[in-house]
Amino acid sequence: MLALLWKDLLLEFRTKERISSLFVLSFLIVLVFVFALSPEQIQGPAIEAALLWVTLVFAGMLSLQRAFLIEQERGCFSGLLLTPIEPGTLFLAKMLGNVLFLLLVELIVAPLSLALFSAPLLPSLFMLPVVLLLGTVGFSALGTLFAAIAVRTRAREVLLPVMLLPLLVPLLIAAVKVTSAVLTGEEWYGVWFRVLVAFDIIFVVTGWLIFSQVVQE
């Protein structure tokens, strides 16, 4: 699994395509929000958390679109499947790779966008990465599963968000609630935190178990 993960990371660090495009895209989405709403309207942790997560979801969607693209275009996926690797392991490696890319981008974009919204940064400095991690794991678990499906269909660009967004509703609500609690410095480990963790566990396990059905040729 580590070798698979290493392969994806190495490919990325040779080109830095995915991370740099993700970073620029999420920065631009934040700018679009500021221009569309005007800075005075983006006030209070609720809306700041909401905009942050909308940005991350759309940027994450782009990252997922690319997750299987290289393998698909060059036909390497059948090669990967021929190796004696469990499909579940392949899923975990792909998912972790995606989590790492997204986290790297998020750790820059989240403080940056909060600064642009002139939100108070300091109270959330320790907990924000944890919330980002939990949200990203759930997002990547479902996302990797459906990216693998979407990349083998005709309308892959449309199909991925169409399948993913409705299923992400619980994650999105929970992540926004926890983030806004973190931003205000309220207690963050309440019921929403548990929903977030439950979502992560359920869909990492589901993806791990069901991935063999997706990649079967």
Partner 1 sequence: MKRFAPFADGVLPWLTLTTMIAALVMVFLYVPNERVQGVVQRIFYFHLPAAWNTFLGFFIVAGASASYLWQGNRFSDLLAQAAAEIGMVFCTIVLITGSIWARPIWGVWWTWDPRLTMVVVLWAIYAAYLLLRHLAGDTEQIARYAAVLGIVGVLDIPLLHISVRLWRGIHPKIERGGLAPEMMWTLLMCTAAFLCLFTWLLWLRLRNLSLREEIVTLRRQAVAMM
* C-beta closer to partner 1: residue 104 or 215: 215
Task: Give long-range contacts, CB 8 A cutoff, 24+ apart: 182-191.
Answer: 182/123, 182/124, 182/127, 182/128, 182/131, 183/45, 183/48, 183/49, 183/114, 183/119, 183/120, 183/123, 183/124, 184/45, 184/123, 185/123, 185/124, 188/127, 188/131
How far apart are the C-alpha atoms of 72 and 196, rounded to whole Å? Answer: 32
| Least distance (Å) between residue 182 CB and partner 1 | 17
> How many residues interact with partner 1 (rule CB under 8 A)?
31
77 touches partner 1 by CB under 8 A: no
How far apart are the C-alpha atoms of 145 and 98, rounded to whole Å? Answer: 12
Q: Pick from 10, 115, 121, 162: which binds partner 1 (CB under 8 A)?
A: 162
Choose the binding region for partner 1 from 2-10, 72-80, 99-107, 169-177 (rule: CB under 8 A): 169-177
For the segment 196-215, give every residue that binds partner 1 (CB under 8 A).
Answer: 198-199, 202-203, 206, 210, 213-214
174 touches partner 1 by CB under 8 A: yes
Catalog residues that contact partner 1 under the rule CB under 8 A: 142, 145-146, 149, 152-155, 158-159, 162-163, 165-167, 169-170, 173-174, 191-192, 195, 198-199, 202-203, 206, 210, 213-214, 216
